[in-house]
C-alpha cells in the first residue's frame, strides 16, 4: 500500500536490516530496539492490523516464523516475548500487521 512504511521495507524501497525472509514473510530489526534482540515480522502483503487479519494460516506462519527466529537468534532457551500491538490502546503505531520478537533480557509483567 503506498505510503505504508512497512510495505516500503518489504519492497526494498527503504533500508532495513533484514534478518530472514520466506513464506511471504520478512523479519527485520526494529529501528528503536527495546531489547538486545528486537525483530519485527511482517507479511509482505499489506494487512493493517490483527483485527483485519482474516487468514488464520498467515497468523500461524508468523508465529512459527518468530519461534524459529528465536532459536536462530539464540534467545529461545532463555526465553522471549512475542507481541502484536493492536490499535491505539494496544500501542500500535505502524498500521501494517507485525509481530515483535523481543529477547536477550528478562521481561517485566505487567507490560506498560
Ligand atoms: P508498533 O508500535 O506499531 O507495535 O511497532 C512499530 C515498530 O516499528 C516500533 O517498534 C518502531 O520502532 C518500528 N519502526 C518504525 N519505523 C521503522 C522503520 O522505518 N524501520 C524499522 N526497522 N523499524 C521501524
Ligand atoms: Zn503496508
Mean pLDDT by 10 residues, the chain (112 residues): 96 97 97 98 98 98 98 98 98 98 98 90
- Nearest atom in ligand 1 to the alpha carbon of residue 92 is 3
- pLDDT at residue number 112: 86
Residue 45 belongs to some domain of the structure: yes
- pLDDT at residue number 14: 96
For ligand 1, mutation pick of 32, 87, 91 (most atoms within 8 Å of CB): 32
6 three-state secondary structure: helix
Residue 111 belongs to some domain of the structure: no
Residue 110 belongs to some domain of the structure: no
Nearest of 14, 71, 86, 5 to residue 37 by alpha carbon: 71
Domain that holds residue 36: 5-103
Q: Cell numbers at residue 63, please?
A: 508465529
Domain total in the chain: 1
Residue 108 belongs to some domain of the structure: no
Nearest of 31, 39, 19 to residue 83 by alpha carbon: 39
- pLDDT at residue number 92: 98
Residue 16 belongs to some domain of the structure: yes
Residue 36 belongs to some domain of the structure: yes
**Contact 99 CB / ligand 1 (< 6 Å):** no
Q: What CATH number did the domain enclosing 85 receive?
A: 3.30.428.10
Question: Could you tell me how far CA 102 lies from the centroid of its own chain?
Answer: 9
Amino acid at each position: 500500500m503506498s505510503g505504508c512504511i512497512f510495505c516500503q521495507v518489504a519492497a526494498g524501497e527503504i533500508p532495513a536490516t533484514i534478518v530472514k525472509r520466506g513464506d511471504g514473510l520478512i523479519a527485520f530489526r526494529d529501528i528503536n530496539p527495546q531489547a538486545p534482540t528486537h525483530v519485527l515480522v511482517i507479511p509482505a502483503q499489506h494487512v493493517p492490523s490483527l483485527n483485519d487479519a482474516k487468514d488464520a494460516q498467515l497468523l500461524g506462519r508468523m508465529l512459527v516464523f518468530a519461534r524459529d527466529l528465536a532459536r536462530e537468534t539464540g534467545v529461545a532457551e532463555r526465553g522471549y516475548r512475542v507481541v502484536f500491538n493492536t490499535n491505539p490502546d494496544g500501542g500500535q503505531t505502524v498500521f501494517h500487521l507485525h509481530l515483535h520478537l523481543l529477547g536477550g533480557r528478562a521481561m517485566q509483567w505487567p507490560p506498560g
